Amino acid sequence: MPRRMGIDYGIKRMGVAVCDPAEMFATPLCVVPVRGDAHAATEVKRLVDETGAQSVVIGLPVNMNGTKGPMAEKVTAFAERVRELTGLPVTLWDERLTSAMAERTLIEADVRREKRKNIVDMLAAQSILQSYMDSIQQPP
């Protein structure tokens, strides 16, 4: 079974998650500092090579009313760059509220603010990837 990678792309940081080979569970992998789209895409390529991922799911920041703002355009361009660099299928997935849910979970777990900053990006990537995989699972 193919292994997938999930990305929560941001201006300063990019959260990364991967799934198990059976595509049942997404797991947080790491947070990568972003120093521009080219650098971030190169880091995705490196992580794809390390993990053996065969496709990438990138969170698309859609506004609550369903419209796409400037960040959605930036993410769409980044996704195209990742597609060209890796040669893999790249899927954009609605990421509404994933960071907010991750932040809330960490607050409830009493994680200190300075630690939450990095962890929230990984958890958002995990949430993006898990919701995508849940949507494509075939019923038994």
Of the pLDDT bands very low, low, confident and very high (cuts 50, 70, 90), residue 123 is confident
More confident site: 31 or 100: 31
Q: Cβ(135)–Cβ(94) under 8 Å?
A: no
pTM: 0.86
In angstroms, rounded to a whole number, what is the distance separating the alpha carbons of residues 140 and 11?
40
Structure tokens at 55: 């496709």
Q: Report pLDDT digits (tens) over 70-90.
A: 889 999 999 999 999 999 999
Q: Report pLDDT digits (tens) over 11-24.
A: 999 999 999 988 88
Please report the domains of the chain, with CATH numbers, ordered by start residue. 4-136 (3.30.420.140)
> What was the pLDDT predicted at 102?
61
